[in-house]
Structure 1
């Protein structure tokens, strides 16, 4: 059996794990930044593209700072820098590196949208775009999310031929199975009706035989020879 010392150590470990969980819980519910599900987006040269970014915080925010950065293997710069006073105000831009960039979205009514629009994109705009958010209300906690922009001549059309063929084959197989089931039910119904008619005929024939034996009208009972005088 474990001694008192072992039980004390186990209790200490259990308390330590619980306290660690309490410390980690606020961190798991704190500032989060997202740029959506797509990690790579494509834009045609000369068009405009929206670079999405939203944030959330269970503790709220005050004098929140946000900024977008652009970086490649040999370049790094801040594209836009702004602040949000509180949850009832829209973001204000303090610094903007490129006139082609405009701030989109709103932070009112829990939208928390700090997306940017990049117009007249060029091939040199290809690279990583990172959305940064820093919340003083959470002791200056900072978080970020990155999206990769690829500028191309034209967007490639997705060939759905194989998909359509697969769907057609699957649909044909399903239709064939339905037809087989319906045909099976029809044959079963016909066989059932045929058996019922045969049964009725047998019963009728058996009834006619009884009438003959009983000498009813129309019967073929043998006539008795006349009695000799």
Structure 2
């Protein structure tokens, strides 16, 4: 007589097989699209992220499975001969592969969001090679697995971020243009103010200029007054003082006194 647990196991297997048969037989198989990065470059000793997403026409369920395999590019290793499964995901659970990846591989995706990405922490030089991502979502089981090439390099060999360089170059160019525009505006403002200063006169300067001819005319008038007498010309008047003492010989000529009109300015 067979044990009861064996009968239960066989019954479970038969039931699962029947369900899969019904699913595959009643619904036509559709293609599933899988996407990964063509190449990933990480620094040795850091975390390397291997992204993988998929597109399916069916609802993601517990039957959705994901498999990551690895084939090393290093010669004379067991991973260089044929791809080896390093991580398997089914029914919401992940199962790491060989010991070389068991403690370093981690599932970081979300199966419900159709993301089955993993990460290697830390990445090692022995991880150089090709990683394959394969997803099955019954009845979508037909599809080509995607592959991504991982390169683990030293820090000095990391490629420069072209996006950052382009952004910095654009910001530098815009800064230079702003400086040029400000300098041009200041120059135009200075020239404009200088033109107004040279072309226009202030009220004080205009009044001083208008007063100059008047002052000159007045000075000419005053000079003419001083130079030209108001009445007829009169020469110096000479007065003689005579002695009237009665003596004939007492006539003495006194020095003449000259009086003249003095014109004061």
Q: Which band: TM-score by shorter chain?
A: 0.5 to 0.7
Distance 1:115 1:140 in 2: 19
Q: Residues of 1 paired with 2:60 and 2:53: CA distance?
A: 13
| Mapping for residues 68-87 of structure 1, pairs under 5 Å | 68-72=68-72, 74-75=80-81, 76-84=83-91
How many residues align? The count is 181
Q: Secondary structure at the match of 1:114?
A: coil
1:129 aligns with 2:131: yes
C-alpha contact (below 8 Å) 1:47/1:119 kept by paired residues: yes
Structure whose alpha-carbon radius of gyration is higher: 2
Q: Classify the secondary structure of the residue corresponding to 2:198.
A: helix
Cα 1:51/1:187, change in 2 over 3 Å: same
Instruction: Map 1:65-104 onto structure 2 (within 5 A).
Output: 65-72=65-72, 74-75=80-81, 76-84=83-91, 91-93=92-94, 96-97=97-98, 98-104=101-107
Tell me by how many angstroms 1:194 deviates: 3.2
- What is the deviation of 1:152? 2.5
Closer, same or farther: CA 119–191 of 1 in aligned 2, 3 Å = same
- 2:152 is paired with a residue whose SS is strand
CA distance in 1: counterparts of 2:159 and 2:141, whole angstroms: 45
Structure 1 unmatched runs, 5+ = 1-26, 85-90
Show structure 1 runs of 4+ deviating over 6 A: 157-160, 165-169, 205-209
Q: Is the 8 A contact 1:43 1:151 kept in 2?
A: yes
- When normalised by structure 1's length, the TM-score is 0.55
How far apart in 2 are the matches of 1:156 and 1:177?
Answer: 41
Counterpart residue number, 2:150: 149
